């Protein structure tokens, strides 16, 4: 497949591999480097290294491998918290990618859903059947899967207009001064690393409510409620207030306990049933590894 992009002012000085990783869905920097080494990427018709600094107006052409990404059923165990003819609620484990991409062509939640559920909506295309919203790979917890397009439209609208309520539990480094409050900023691409998000002046409005649940010597357990749905919102906001999510290798201080990622779990979800309008609330207990870490902290 051939992609062509023109660098704009905001891309000036950005590395070529970072630029393409952002532009092409599901690719990694290592994959881009492989294409560069194979002569599959040019800038203004000439081969460049992966670290080439783009200039405004540069024309970038990338020829990716011909293989297509496809979503196929796979017998992967998943915890289905609820399901009926309209939608399902899944408790996604930490480490599971939501849908297939070049960096994760199989073993995803979608692969499991295609095996476990009879029908899924197709509004998000063949690679993301049923997917109404997403969770980061290393964030665990509740996620919606629509079984038909009517339900998908209803659930998507609820998330967009904030009538669906999503709550998360996180362990944070250090102790937040206040017992609760609101974090309101603008979130956009990190100008120094376009693979990350950051609080920026020209980003989109992001609002997160928080409540401290329990305090420890060097950590605090916090409940967050999303009032907007920006990429990596809770993780970026936690870093912004000086208390990153424990174990967050991207926005925090890395591993402090034996976990595969950040200690962030989507524990509660409230939606209106697409057909009846009944308000439904779903819960997912903290994963075992999360609870074990809390018990260690309680024992000092």
> Order of strands across the sheet with 46-47?
2-6, 59-63, 41-43, 46-47
Question: Which of 78, 76, 81 has its CA nearest to residue 267?
Answer: 81
Distances (CA, A) of 161 to 71, 110, 228: 30, 25, 9
Instruction: Tell me whether residue 19 is exposed, middle or buried, using C-beta atoms within 10 angstroms of its C-beta: 0 to 12, 13 to 18, 19 or more.
Output: buried
Enumerate the active-site residues.
Answer: 136
Q: How far is Cα 29 from Cα 57, in angstroms, rounded to an integer?
A: 22
Report helix angle 29-37 to 16-23, nearest 10: 120
40: left (phi over 0), alpha (psi -120 to 50) or beta: alpha
Residue that has been written with the tokens 């991207």 in this structure? 250
Under 8 Å between Cβ of 20 and 73 = no
């Amino acid at each position: 497949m051939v992609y062509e992009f023109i660098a704009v002012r905001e891309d000036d000085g950005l590395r070529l591999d970072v630029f393409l990783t952002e532009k092409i869905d599901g690719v990694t920097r290592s994959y881009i480097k492989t294409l560069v080494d194979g002569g599959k990427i040019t800038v203004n018709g000439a081969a460049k290294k992966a670290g080439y600094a783009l200039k405004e107006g540069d024309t970038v052409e990338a020829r990716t491998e011909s293989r297509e990404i496809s979503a196929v059923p796979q017998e992967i165990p998943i915890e289905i918290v609820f399901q009926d003819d309209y939608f399902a609620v899944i408790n996604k484990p930490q480490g599971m990618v939501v849908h297939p991409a070049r960096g994760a062509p199989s073993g995803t939640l979608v692969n499991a859903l295609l095996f476990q559920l009879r029908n899924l909506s197709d509004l998000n295309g063949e690679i993301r059947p049923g997917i109404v919203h997403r969770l980061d790979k290393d964030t665990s917890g509740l996620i919606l899967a629509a079984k038909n397009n009517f339900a998908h439209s209803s659930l998507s609208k609820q998330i967009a207009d904030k009538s669906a309520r999503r709550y998360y539990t996180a362990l944070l480094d250090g102790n937040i001064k206040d017992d609760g409050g609101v974090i309101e900023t603008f979130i956009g691409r990190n100008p120094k690393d376009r693979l990350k998000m950051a609080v920026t002046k020209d980003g989109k409005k992001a609002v997160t409510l928080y409540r401290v649940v329990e305090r420890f010597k060097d950590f605090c357990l916090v409940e967050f409620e999303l009032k907007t749905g920006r990429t990596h919102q809770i993780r970026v906001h936690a870093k912004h207030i000086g208390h990153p999510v424990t174990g967050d290798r991207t926005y925090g201080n890395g591993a402090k306990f034996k976990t595969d990622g950040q200690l962030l779990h989507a524990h509660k979800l409230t939606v209106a049933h697409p057909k009846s309008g009944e308000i439904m609330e779903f819960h997912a207990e903290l994963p075992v590894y999360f609870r074990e870490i809390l018990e260690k902290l309680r024992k000092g």
